Amino acid sequence: MNSLPLTIEPIPYEISNQTIFERIRHLRRPVFLDSNADFNNIGFDIIAAAPCMTITTSGKTTTVASFDQSTATQTCPFSVLKEQLKSYAPCANDKLLPFTGGAIGFFSYDLGRLISQLPTTAVRDIDLPEMDIGIYLWAIIRDHANRKLYFIARPECTELDCHEILTLILTNLDRNNTACFKLLEPFKSNTSAEKYAESYAKILEYIYAGDCYQINFSQRFDAPYEGDPWQAYLMQRAHTDAPFSAFLQTKDYALLSLSPERFILVRDNQVETKPIKGTRPRGVLPQQDQLYVQLLRNSSKDQAENLMIVDLMRNDISRNCILGSVTVPELFAIESYSNVHHLVSTIRGNLKPGRDAADLLRDSFPGGSITGAPKRRAMEIIEELEPQRRSAYCGSIGYLDFNGNMDTNIAIRTLVCHNQRIYCWGGGGIVAGSDVDNEYQESYIKVSNLLNVLQSNGVVK
């Protein structure tokens, strides 16, 4: 299939992402993939809206809808997505830009039950789709490294379409007339310390019985709210440096992701995944902060936890990578964020001929760092012990473009706004050498800054 020309129009770099997003967010299904790189000059940001098509999975049914028609199928959602992406010709200039039009959206953790055929035990009390994807033909892309800002559009966008969108972006018209965001009550957990300890003991029983080596177990926090989720995202963004952040909004829900973790990147058939396993809090003083770094770096328990997931992810991506191409160029690196230090490893490989990003995503989903090992048994145990389904939490948010590129996060540090309630989850890996009090505290520490930012803004009485 021949490459098509891509419209690329430069935009003044000084226009902020917030300004651009607020000028287009009245359009259908606005999305913002946010590298949070305003101050470190790396990464790309992608803003888009008004998709020409949506692909939505609810239960076992996937619906493909455009302006004038809608079809439903029981086919695997990843296969449906793959076929829709293949129906568009690639565009030129793919070496310059990470995204040239394509799919942007989210894949919920619960989409994994269609792959692994899990038992149904946990309650589904958040009515979000298992997969919700838009096909976007235009986008605004910020290149932080080169300090460039572009409007890009595929040939399917008419000259009039492009002119109207550029006019929106460049016109100084205040559209941000939305209500501020306020909690109506403080966040509450769905798991008491006592209940957590019971589940922890059960997990250890499974580990010692040989069912599993590691289980990623989480607790959920939620609260009622009023106002605009976008304002909540802006508050969170001001207090984090998470490089795989995102904001997605439809008429039914909003996702606010402040994720530090990449799931899978595909660029020019090169594959990369960067699982996180191992966490310590930031110290108040520099000496204390360095002590936490050293404790994490030298922790045999955290290294063992990380290595289990490295082996799992090597196996997952190897299904679609050339034999012998999968390597681990970086093992047990320290990455530091606003409230925690993480232990991160990097795994790379080369896609097999005839395989693509959708194949890779399907066969690796959900990410091993948020299930445990072995993956299927870990997911069964999570289903048994966590009272509610995870929804978007521990799924993935990102893009797959028409040129075969992909970048997705692990949707941790992610909040869901639905039916005037906001949900947030915190979790961690439990292994034979874990301590119940430390694990319970860690699951809170990881999201404490997210909860505190919103609670410190005041609770409506």
- Delimit the domains of the chain by residue range: 7-456
- CA distance from start to end of the chain: 60
**Sign of the dihedral defined by the CA atoms of residues 192, 370, 363, 104, in that order:** positive
pLDDT value of residue 3: 77
Query: What are the helix (H) ranges across 224-285?
Result: 229-237
- The contacts of residue 240 (CB under 8 Å, 6+ apart) are 36, 258, 337, 338, 413, 449
Q: Which amino acid is at 233?
A: Y
Tokens of 428: 């961690």
Cα distance between residue 299 and residue 295, in whole Å: 6
Q: Phi first, then psi: what are they for 101, rounded to 5°?
A: 95, 145
Tokens of 139: 């986008």
Instruction: Specify the CATH number of the domain 7-456.
Output: 3.60.120.10
Its pTM stands at 0.95
Tokens of 370: 């948020």
Length of the chain: 461
pLDDT value of residue 1: 56
Per-residue pLDDT of the chain (461 residues; tens, 9 = 90+): 567 889 999 999 999 999 999 999 999 999 999 998 765 557 899 999 999 999 999 999 999 999 889 999 999 999 999 999 999 988 886 577 899 999 999 999 999 988 878 888 999 999 999 999 999 999 999 999 999 999 999 999 988 889 999 999 999 876 666 779 999 999 999 999 999 999 999 999 999 999 999 999 999 999 999 999 999 999 999 988 899 999 999 999 999 999 999 999 999 999 999 999 999 999 999 999 999 999 999 999 999 999 999 999 999 999 999 999 999 999 999 999 888 899 999 999 999 999 999 999 999 999 999 999 999 999 999 999 999 999 999 999 999 999 999 999 999 999 999 999 999 999 999 999 899 999 999 899 899 999 999 998 766 65
Helix/strand/coil for 380? helix
Cα distance between residue 101 and residue 156, in whole Å: 10
Packing angle, helices 17-24 and 229-237, rounded to 10: 170
- Whether the bond between 30 and the residue before it is cis, its omega within 30 degrees of 0, is no
Catalytic residues: 261, 277
Q: Phi first, then psi: what are they for 235, rounded to 5°?
A: -65, -45
Check: CB of residue 20 under 8 Å from CB of residue 140. Answer: yes
Packing angle, helices 357-364 and 77-86, rounded to 10: 170
Look at strands 131-136 and 53-58 and give their pairing: antiparallel
Q: Cα torsion at 184, 186, 189, 193 (round to 10°)?
A: -160
Check: CB of residue 441 under 8 Å from CB of residue 233. Answer: no
Distances (CA, A) of 172 to 15, 22, 180: 10, 11, 21
DSSP state of 368: G
Cα distance between residue 145 and residue 40, in whole Å: 9
pLDDT value of residue 426: 96
Check: CB of residue 307 under 8 Å from CB of residue 316. Answer: no
Distances (CA, A) of 9 to 163, 424, 425: 11, 38, 40
Cα distance between residue 222 and residue 447, in whole Å: 12
Cα distance between residue 140 and residue 291, in whole Å: 42
Tokens of 326: 């999968």
Nearest to 368 by CA among 431, 309, 429: 309
364 burial class (0-12, 13-18, 19+ CB within 10 angstroms)? buried
Nearest to 182 by CA among 461, 447, 457: 457
Tokens of 67: 């302006």
Helix/strand/coil for 214? strand
